[in-house]
Amino acid sequence: MASVLGDTTCSLHPDRQSTARCPTCRQFYCAECITEHDGRLTCASCLRSRSESSEKGKMERRWVIAPFVQFALALLLVWVLFYLFGETLGDVPDDFHDGTIWE
Ligand SMILES: [Zn+2]
Ligand SMILES: [Zn+2]
């Protein structure tokens, strides 16, 4: 039984038999054209477009901070509300308390 790769040639080198298939673009490549990146086989052109997209991802990563900022703002808002709530409790006159809770 012939291997799946047996009849295929490198898409960049038609005279060479392919040794691997790029999982990203599904093209066959020879050992020279295929490289390993992050533990995954990838061809040179995919590696290039991948590094380009990761640079793009770096720019997009800045916006990932937004949820954390929103969380911090929400936390601050909650803190301010609790602070004002505490201030309101502090303004309650002492004779309001009948002492049952404290004694
Ligand atoms: Zn590829
Ligand atoms: Zn090749």
CA distances (Å), 77 to each of 13, 65, 82, 83, 89, in order?
63, 18, 9, 10, 18
- Residue labelled with tokens 């937004």: 66
Provide the residue ranges of all domains of the chain, joining segments of one domain with +.
Answer: 20-92
Beta-bridge mates of residue 28: 21
Distance in Å, CA 23 to ligand 1 centroid: 7
Instruction: Render pLDDT for 23-73 as a digit per residue (tens, 0 to 9).
Output: 989 999 999 999 988 888 999 889 888 778 777 666 666 666 788 888 999
Q: How confident is the model at residue 102 (pLDDT cuts 50, 70, 90)?
A: low
Name residues with Cβ closer than 5 Å to ligand 2, which is an ion.
10, 12-13, 30, 32-33
In the predicted model, what is the mean pLDDT of residues 79-96?
86
Q: Give residue 92's pLDDT.
A: 79
